[in-house]
Amino acid sequence: MLNLPQPTEVKRSLPKAQLYRQFDWKPSQRESFDGDVSHLDFVNWISPKTLPGIAAGNEVKEIYIVEVTLKTRDFDSKNIALLGKSIPQRIVYVLRYGDEVMLAVYYTRLFMTTWQPAEDVSLQLNGLNLDSVWENIVRSIVGTSLSDVSNPETQDYEPNNYQNTLDSKHAEGMSLQEQIIAADERAKIVRQIAALERQMFATKQPRRKRELFEQIQKLKQKT
């Protein structure tokens, strides 16, 4: 799984009924989750015990990989967000439907990559300790998620020439949290631009059209 070292491989089921009991989800949440998710399995455990070359971090002592087998490709991301919020562990979720997968993490909110063929997806373990390994994993998934306008968790505006909410130039030198905050702010500006562009194309008044155009240009300077 994900081209991770063999010593990290585990295979342990995570029964949905156990989640429901442990976290006391509402009946509506259970029904929605059950409608999207077939079953869950722990498939990798990354720790100094399974990878002695990587030390425990000050905060991160172990990282889990959980495979979530979906019943539908058109799943509700809120169900995965609920799962991420409920389990207080560092977990990378491998969402699988057929021969395709996407990776997800919950870090202040849910971030997901795009769908890819399962055989093409790998996870790099970069860092001397698990603090840095975890941050690099999250950065890779967050970076993909923030640049994907089709991701419902991060975008809700129409694609245009400002698709990437935070490119490498803007992200350089930022902490992970700063990167997310900056991307959120930039996304708000992009949504404003999209709304103003729709207004500009719809109006027939030259003066109003010019005013909207000037507002758009000012906002574009901030992206």
**Given pLDDT bands bounded at 50, 70 and 90, which one contains residue 108?**
confident
pLDDT tens track for 158-196: 333 334 444 544 555 677 888 788 877 888 898 999 999
Distance in angstroms (rounded) separating the CA atoms of residues 86 and 95 = 17
Please say if the pLDDT value at position 121 is more than 70: yes
pLDDT at residue 94 greater than cutoff 90: yes
Residue 124 has pLDDT above 70, yes or no: yes
85-89, 104-108, 149-153, 156-160: the lowest-pLDDT one: 156-160
In the prediction, which pLDDT does 196 show?
Answer: 95
Q: Which two tokens stand for residue 142?
A: 């967050």
Q: Write down the domain spans for the chain.
A: 1-150, 156-223
Handedness of CA 194, 186, 170, 58 (dihedral sign): negative
pLDDT of residue 142 exceeding 90, the answer is no
CA atoms within 13 A on the CB side of 178: 6
Per-residue burial over 134-152, b = 16 or more CB atoms within 10 Å of its CB, e = otherwise: bbebbbbbbbbbbbbbebe
What's the rounded mean pLDDT across residues 65-85? Answer: 96
Coil/strand/helix, residue 106: strand
Q: In the predicted model, what is the mean pLDDT of the chain?
A: 87
Phi-psi region of 214 (alpha: psi -120 to 50; beta: other; left: phi over 0): alpha
* Phi, psi of 147, rounded to the nearest 5 degrees: -95, 0
